[in-house]
Amino acid sequence: MHIRQFLLPEKEKQTAALLQSLPLEEKRALWRLIKASGKDHTCIVTSPTPEIRSLETKKILERNPYYRGKGFSYFTLRHAPYLMKQLQEQSKST
């Protein structure tokens, strides 16, 4: 996961720095969620893992309160759309 911070708005650079300081297992969990996310930056998981819960407490993930299906729906990097777009582009090339 390589983040080009010079392309990000100032307010998203803090989020990028937070992502780079995450433990490896949380980075892997986040990467899987980014790959599974659609255009609306939501992803669905069957059950939240400890890594997902940790990402939720760090405000990287936010639970989607409107989702009523099976499992749990999360907004991924909801407050950092440019960062999310950059990471989604990277995920398509890997």
Q: What is the DSSP string of 41-56?
A: SEEEESS--HHHHHHH
Confidence at residue 64, expressed as pLDDT on a 0 to 100 scale:
93
Q: Please state the pTM of the whole predicted model.
A: 0.87
CB atoms within 10 A of CB 94: 7
Confidence at residue 25, expressed as pLDDT on a 0 to 100 scale:
96
Q: Please state, rounded to an integer, the average pLDDT across all residues of the chain.
A: 90
Residue 1 has pLDDT above 70, yes or no: no
Residue spans of the domains in the chain: they are: 28-86
Q: Which residue type is seen at 3?
A: I
Residue percentage of the chain with pLDDT more than 70 = 98
Q: What is the pLDDT of residues 33-75, one digit of tens each?
A: 999 998 889 999 999 999 999 999 999 999 999 999 999 999 9
pLDDT band for position 94 (cuts 50, 70, 90): low
